[in-house]
Amino acid sequence: MAAIEQIAANRSFGGWHRRYRHTSAVLGCDMQFAVYLPPQVEQGERLPVLYWLSGLTCTDENFMQKAGAQRLAAELGLVIVAPDTSPRGAGVPDDPDGAWDFGLGAGFYVNATQQPWAAHYRMYDYVVSELPALVEANFPVTAQRSISGHSMGGHGALVCALKNPGRYQSVSAFAPISNPSNCPWGQKALGNYLGPERDSWKAWDTCELLAQASERLPLLVDQGEDDSFLAEQLQPEALQAAAERVGHPLTLRRQPGYDHSYYFIASFIDDHLRHHARALGRPG
């Protein structure tokens, strides 16, 4: 198991927000991730983990600094782990035109098969396997996990849960890219990372995965009605239709007046934390 190096620590609601660096064998580069450890860990309690996947251009810092999740996580006894959104560093390729919606900061939580991306862009394996193994080996946590995310990270959370029945106790998303095979962000990412054969994209598309899901884990999704990306990129109506076709439990909440920002996430994060806490057997 790779060693981890602590690079920052801040006291927060009786617990600790800490940041770490480690060398990822899966991604072939150094990675950073953040952990919120509630006060119960100092009392010797082992706690379940909520993994948070952030959106395009983000790092591990966005959610931890802007979502305001630590207060209730401390009360509920939930560890929160936030990875970066892509591999980074010397030798990791970026969008050749420097675009913000592909490459660095935009790993899309898939396993790339095309060059030059395949050597580093394996964020799915990192999130599902390597990072949890690292967390469970180094922190006082249980093997119970839940997963959530925003935008590209909402897509990632839904895909990780649907592709791994039994691995997560709950899943939720804010403004997820619901049908990446049919939106510009998704088509650019999947086309580059996986190649032009669209059949290969289906394994990374929530709407496609719902049709074959062997586990009917309830989905909680919040979507702002004033989100500027709503119609073109996010397509919650496609998610709703896909869930209805197979009878997959979905709570899709459309929130009037809310946009795509962390103001939106902070407004409803408590509902999501309680959703995960119930599934993880935490009091409150």
- Per-residue CA distances from 127 to 53, 122, 224, 235, 269 (Å): 9, 9, 26, 24, 21
Mean pLDDT of 104-122: 98
Q: What gap in Å lies between CA 278 and CA 210, rounded to an integer?
A: 23
Q: Is 97 a catalytic residue?
A: no
- Which residue among the candidates 227, 248, 272, 276 is catalytic per the annotation? 227
**106 touches 100 (CB < 8 A):** yes
DSSP letter string, 200-266 = GGGGG-HHHHHHH-SS-PPEEEEEETT-TTIIIII-HHHHHHHHHHHT--EEEEEETT--SSHHHHH
CATH fold of 4-279, please?
Rossmann fold (3.40.50)
Place of tokens 């395949």: 118
3-state secondary structure 138-150: HCCEEEEEEEEEE
Reported confidence tier of residue 26, pLDDT bands at 50, 70, 90: very high
How do residues 170-204 score in pLDDT, each as one tens digit?
999 999 999 999 999 999 999 999 999 999 999 99
Q: What is the pLDDT of residue 283?
A: 84
Reported confidence tier of residue 1, pLDDT bands at 50, 70, 90: low
CA end-to-end span of the chain, whole Å? 35
Q: What is the pLDDT of residue 143?
A: 95
Which residues pair with residue 253 across a beta bridge? 222
pTM, full prediction: 0.97
How do residues 159-168 score in pLDDT, each as one tens digit?
999 999 999 9
Q: What gap in Å lies between CA 111 and CA 58, rounded to an integer?
A: 19
Mean pLDDT of 225-236: 97
- Which residue among the candidates 17, 22, 248, 260 is catalytic per the annotation? 260
Q: Tell me what the pLDDT averaged over the chain comes to.
A: 97
> How many CA atoms lie less than 13 Å away from 268 in the CB half-sphere?
26
Q: What gap in Å lies between CA 213 and CA 180, rounded to an integer?
A: 18
Contacts of 75 by beta carbon, 8 Å cutoff, 6+ apart? 284
Q: What gap in Å lies between CA 126 and CA 83, rounded to an integer?
A: 9
How do residues 65-104 score in pLDDT, each as one tens digit?
999 999 999 999 999 999 999 999 999 999 999 999 999 9
Q: Is 12 a catalytic residue?
A: no
Q: Is 227 a catalytic residue?
A: yes
- Which residue among the candidates 151, 172, 178, 181 is catalytic per the annotation? 151
φ/ψ (deg, to 5) at 178: -75, -30
Give the other-Cβ count within 10 Å of 256's Cβ: 7
Mean pLDDT of 125-131: 98
Mean pLDDT of 220-236: 98
